[in-house]
Structure 1
Amino acid sequence: RRVHIAEHQRGADATAVGSLLLHVPNFLCSLFVVALPSAFLGGFGILLILVWLASGVLVFHRPTESVIARRLLGLSHPLPQERALLEPVWREVTARAGVEADTYELWVEDSDSLNAVAAAGHIVGVTRFAMHQLPNGELAAVLAHELGHHVGGHAWSSLLGHWYALPGRMAWRFLRAFSLVVLAVSRAFSCFGVGIVLLVFGAFALATISSLYGLPLLVLAMPYALAAVGRRAELRADRHAAALGFAPMLAAVLHKMHLAEQRREATAMARRGGVPVRESSLSKLLSSHPDHSTRLHHLQPYLQPRPHQAQPYAQPQPHVPPPSYPRHR
């Protein structure tokens, strides 16, 4: 019952490549920040740049991944009884994908929400709520979705891009905090001081933009472009799970997640005295996941019954009445 969808255990599809390309402006800004000390440190500064460039391989270093899983993602190793529950489902998923089960490492998050994560080069995490509350078929669909992120290279490419963007982001936060302090001090003296500060920062920004060929302007648009690529990666991971025969189970999981989101919105609306919480257009553009209807729409081709197709953990599907249309005489 194997479904071989890829020759290699891990790859890089168009979404992963696009994510790396979109991180190029962030990488160049970070390189500029890291290279600044080299002007004063000489040969040691060049060594610092080389060490920073080589540090990206730590994304695939398992001990480093363990630190990321524990410290940054809040994950832990599954307990023996949890491993006994997870591993048979995981091996079913990896067997269908033609992937060695031991290529990736299972982790557990102590959370009461329905969620899972694929990170770095080998991390596959799932919440205890999902592990204990979902039937095996739906849990397999969740794990197949996260495996799709790894097979497509989404996990390592996003973390690699984030890692190389850190120096630039730290420098940006420092400059923003510094500018706020300077503006506060200058405002205490006079409006003339504020004008001087704005003139100095404006000249610095203009010089930076002209010397870096407008790359800082591209950095401002990167969050929206990266969010769009992230939404595409989610749809590709959904398609990966569906291609392995888990489309009905994944649709059921998406329905449960949608109901949970509706309950959260209802609770927030009740706290606001019945005023609905409306998401702005910009916040929608920054969303990393497609909306419920979009994901279900892309799953529809896989939800059609196919003859002689193996269905793991088959479960009855809810009956959806067909839409009624006016009859023509």
Structure 2
Amino acid sequence: MTQPPPYPPEYPDPAARPPVPPQTPPGPPGVPPQYPTHPGHPVPPAYPQQPPTAPEAPLSASPSAAALGTPPHPHHISTDSGRVHLSHQQRRTDATAVGNLLVYLPHFLGSLFVVTLVSLFFGGLGILLVLAWLVSGALVFHRPTESAVARHVLRLRYPTPQERAKLEPVWREVTARAGIEGRAYELWVEDSDSLNAVAAAGHIVGVTRFSMNHLPNGELAAVMAHELGHHVGGHAWSSLLGYWYALPGRMAWRALRSVTGFLFRVSRAFSCFGVAFFALCGGSLVLASISSLYGLPLLVLAVPYALAAVGRRAELRADRHAAALGFAPMLAAVLDKLHQQEQLEAAALAARTGGAPPAESPLSRLLSSHPDYHTRLHHLQPYLQPRR
């Protein structure tokens, strides 16, 4: 079998080998090498050299804290997960909401008495007036009515697009942890420089401009989780419903107080005899009202204290709701800032009056709708302890 010739073929004579092109030494970096031209071929034109360009940096909307080398705030939370979790129970009526309605019951009966008296002036149509007033409580959950209450009573406004871009991710994280449909509620803003928030009617969650701009997003989430606790427990709608049905009685009481004050000033013009006559007539009327209504008017005197006690209980329940969602350290920091703000306001008031800061009396504590700082912090301690 014939072996094939070797490849490439061997040239016995060195002179018969093909010429080897000369090796071009490498040039400086960035300059293309110059290769020799062959006879008979035209020289290619020289193209202008482009300067070397730096690699493009990735686009970003704004430098992050990690890019700037600054650590995030200790109470910063991540809102980029976008998780959604909905529980089967969106809201409930807890014992605090039921107690709030029961405390408003004397006011409701007084208002019913006033509306019934007014309806007597309308003859046969008076019963329609009473029924319309009883059904009007459904307006608490009417969205246009809620918006009117938020705008004209609570002095709230809709957030701007920039404010909404800051509030909505935090609200989404809060509602995801709670298992609540966040789109069922409306976010509002109050133009105030105080640290505060509000939950009203059935779907309103409002925060102040100071809270939105000066709190880390974790502490802002704790504030919003606290207000969500009022909605979940039914505190917001029960308070507004009780206030609505107590409104006719309140208006009648203010009118009666104005008339009584006017008659008292007139009786003083007739010396001591006029004052004694006025006191005798007024006392007889009050005694007749109490005896005919089986002492029910006396309950009205205790209603402010009972409402304040129920309000303090509602605040503690809302604190517990926010702490159970994991915002206990953030909520404790917010309470500390609130306490410092109150102390600064008391010191400023004392500086203006030239005296010592006023001490809170036991009666004012009983009429306060919010627990004091130490009480709220004490109830947060089980959530601040490290878990085993």
TM-score when scaled to structure 2? 0.77
Q: Which residue of 2 aligns with 1:38?
A: 119
Task: Report what 1:150 is aligned to.
Answer: 231
2:178 is matched with 97
Contact 1:116/1:125 (8 A) holds in 2: yes
Q: Which runs of structure 2 are paired with 1:119-134 in the superposition (5 Å)?
A: 119-134=200-215
User: In the alignment, residue 120 of structure 1 is paired with which amino acid?
Assistant: A
Stretch of structure 1 that moved more, 221-230 or 298-307 = 298-307
Aligned partners of 2:348 and 2:296: how far apart in 1? 42
Q: How far apart are 1:268 and its partner, in Å? A: 1.4
Work out whether 1:28 is the aligned partner of 2:109.
yes
Residue 269 of structure 1 deviates from its aligned partner by 1.6
Is 1:277 paired with 2:376? no
Amino acid at match of 2:152: R
Contact persistence 1:3–1:97 (CA under 8 A): no
Pairing 1:1-329 to 2, within 5 Å after superposition: 7-306=88-387
Residues 5-51 of structure 1 show CA distances to partners (whole Å, capped at 9, x for unaligned) of 96422221000000000000010001000100233322211111111
Structure with more contact order per residue of length (Cα contacts < 8 Å, sep ≥ 6)? 1
Deviations 1:131-189 (A, max 9, x none): 01000100000000000000000000011111111111111111111011111111102
The number of aligned residues is 307
Q: Which runs of 5+ in 1 are unaligned?
A: 308-329
Contact 1:75 1:110 survives alignment (8 Å): yes
CA distance in 2, matches of 1:55, 1:8: 27
Give the secondary-structure state (helix, strand or coil) at the position aligned to 1:37. Answer: helix
What is the CA deviation profile of residues 218-248 of structure 1, one whole-angstrom value per residue up to 9, with x for unaligned ones? 0011001100100000000000000001001
Distance 1:5 1:205 in 2: 54
8 Å CA contact 2:86, 2:181 repeated in 1: no
Q: 1:261, CA displacement in angstroms?
A: 0.8
- Which residue identity does 1:251 align to in structure 2? A
Moved more, 197-206 or 51-60: 197-206
Query: Could you tell me whether the CA contact under 8 Å between 1:9 and 1:103 is conserved in 2?
Result: no
Q: Percent identity?
A: 74
CA RMSD after TM alignment: 1.6
Structure 1 distance, partners of 2:283, 2:123, is: 30
CA-CA distance at 1:305 after TM superposition: 2.3
| Worse-superposed segment, 229-238 or 39-48 | 39-48
Q: Distance in 2 between matches of 1:39 and 1:213?
A: 24
CA distance in 2, matches of 1:71, 1:26: 24
Task: State the distance in 1 between where 2:377 and 2:222 align.
Answer: 14
> In structure 2, what is the Cα distance between the partners aligned to 1:17 and 1:174?
30
Query: Which consecutive residues of structure 2, in runs of 5 or more, have no partner in the other structure?
Result: 1-80
Counterpart Cα distance in 2 of 1:212 and 1:10: 37
Whether the 8 Å contact between 2:86 and 2:176 is mirrored in structure 1 is: no
User: Contact (CA 8 Å) 1:75, 1:109: kept in 2 or not?
Assistant: yes
* Structure-1-length-normalised TM-score: 0.90
CA radius of gyration, larger in: 2
Could you give the per-residue CA deviations for residues 73-132 of structure 1, whole angstroms, max 9, x where no partner exists? 000000000000000000100011110011111000011111000000100000011001
Q: Secondary structure at the match of 1:106?
A: strand
Per residue, is there more helix in 1 or in 2? Answer: 1
Does the aligned pair in 2 maintain the 1:4–1:96 contact within 8 Å? yes
SS in 1 for 2:205: strand
- The answer (yes or no) to whether the contact 2:86–2:180 under 8 Å persists in 1 is no
1-structure distance, mates of 2:126, 2:224: 44
Q: Distance in 1 between matches of 2:328 and 2:86?
A: 15
- The letter of the residue matching 1:166 is L
Contact in 1 for aligned 2:322/2:328 (Cα 8 Å)? yes
Partner Cα separation in structure 2 for residue 225 and residue 276 of structure 1 = 28
